[in-house]
Amino acid sequence: MNKFKEIRNLYRIEEIKDEYVLIQINKRIEKLYIYEIKPMLFLDLSEDIQDSVINVYNQLLRECDFNLQFLISNRKLDIQKYIEKYLEYKKNIPILMYNLYVQDMKEKLKQEDIYETQMLIAYTENAKEDTSIKKVDKVLLKLEEIGCKVNKINEKEKYEELLYKYLNKT
């Protein structure tokens, strides 16, 4: 990724591996782990279940004796990207139906002010110490108990994409 080279130098990124990113913070090398969180629809739940979810979330926060950073991104929906993603699932559509669908979808999406939200959790630890990422993984599994999907990033290209998206200010 050519666009990533500038960010690598600017933010002192030493190396990107599949499991983590090595970054320099205050002359120390740190491992950065990123988790992608697919949130649940909290407002659609009954009041009792909402209370239960809040209790589990409070328990999660009490068990965190390590540094987590929550990152939330709201960006205007990229219509073309959305349509391309949809078409990956609908490859056997006749061309005429495809053209009608794309045109109709573009018109509808242009009329709406739709944003896509992405939520990440970042965790750093000293690269020389073995703080054990397994403890972090275990605590974050509590999010799955309340209905969220937790995916630990384990792919170099995905790390580069996320770092570029979150660090690039343009």
Other beta carbons less than 10 A from residue 119's beta carbon: 15
Q: What would the pLDDT profile of 106-121 be if each residue is shown by its tens digit?
A: 777 677 777 777 888 8
Our CA dihedral for 48, 53, 57, 59, rounded to 10 degrees, sits at 60
21 lies in the same domain as 101: no
55 lies in the same domain as 86: no
Distance CA 42, CA 59 (A): 17
Give the least confident one: 11-15, 67-71, 85-89.
85-89
Does residue 1 have a pLDDT over 50?
no
Distance CA 141, CA 61 (A): 12
Partners of residue 125 on adjacent β-strands: 31
Most confident of 26-40, 82-96, 114-128, 132-146: 26-40
92 lies in the same domain as 125: no
Contact 55, 152 (CB under 8 A): no
140 lies in the same domain as 87: no
Q: What would the pLDDT profile of 44-58 be if each residue is shown by its tens digit?
A: 788 998 888 888 888
Question: What total of structural domains would you count in the chain?
Answer: 2
Contact 68, 123 (CB under 8 A): yes
26 lies in the same domain as 108: no
12 lies in the same domain as 60: yes
137 lies in the same domain as 93: no
Domain extent, residue 148, equals: 4-74+118-167
145 lies in the same domain as 95: no
Phi-psi sector, 147: left (phi>0), alpha (psi -120 to 50), beta? left
Average pLDDT, integer, range 146-151: 85
Distance CA 148, CA 64 (A): 18
Does residue 92 have a pLDDT over 70?
no
105 lies in the same domain as 126: no
70 lies in the same domain as 29: yes
Angle, to 10 degrees, between the axis of helix 95-111 and the axis of helix 79-89? 140
Tokens of 65: 């004796």
108 lies in the same domain as 123: no
Q: Assign 5 a pLDDT band (cuts: 50, 70, 90).
A: low
What residue type is 159 in one-letter code?
Answer: Y
20 lies in the same domain as 89: no
Other beta carbons less than 10 A from residue 156's beta carbon: 15
CATH number at residue 133: 3.30.70
Contact 34, 122 (CB under 8 A): yes
